[in-house]
Amino acid sequence: MAERWKTAVLDISEVGGWAVVRGKQGFLQDSKGVLFPRDWLKRHDLPVLCEHGIGHYEGVPVYLLELEYDTHIDHCSWQGLRQFMLQADDPHLFKLLAYAAQIGTWAREHRFCGSCGTAMTQIPHERAMYCQRCDLRHYPRISPSMIVLITRGDEILLARSPRFVSGVYSTLAGFAEPGESAEDCLIREVREEVQIEVKNIQYVGSQCWPFPHSMMLGFHAQYAGGEIVPQPDEIEDAQWFRIDALPPLPASRSIARYLIDLYVARRLGLAEPVLPG
If the chain, 277 residues long, is cut into consecutive pieces of 10 residues, what is the mean pLDDT of each piece?
A: 83 95 94 94 92 96 94 90 79 91 93 94 93 94 94 98 92 95 97 98 92 90 98 95 96 92 97 87
Other beta carbons less than 10 A from residue 195's beta carbon = 14
Which residues, at least 6 apart from 131, have a Cβ–Cβ distance to it below 8 Å?
113, 115, 116, 118, 120, 138
Predicted pLDDT at 71? 87
Predicted pLDDT at 88? 64
Sketch the domain layout of the chain as residue ranges: 5-109, 143-268
| CATH code reported for the domain at 5-109 | 3.90.79.20
Q: Do 5-109 and 143-268 fold alike per CATH?
A: yes
Predicted pLDDT at 2? 55
Residue 116 CB burial class (10 angstroms; 0-12, 13-18, ≥19): exposed
Select 143-268's CATH number: 3.30.450.40, 3.90.79.10, 3.40.47.10, 3.40.630.30. 3.90.79.10
Predicted pLDDT at 1? 39
Measured between alpha carbons, how far is 109 from 30 in angstroms, rounded to an integer? 28
What pTM did the predictor assign?
0.86
Predicted pLDDT at 85? 80
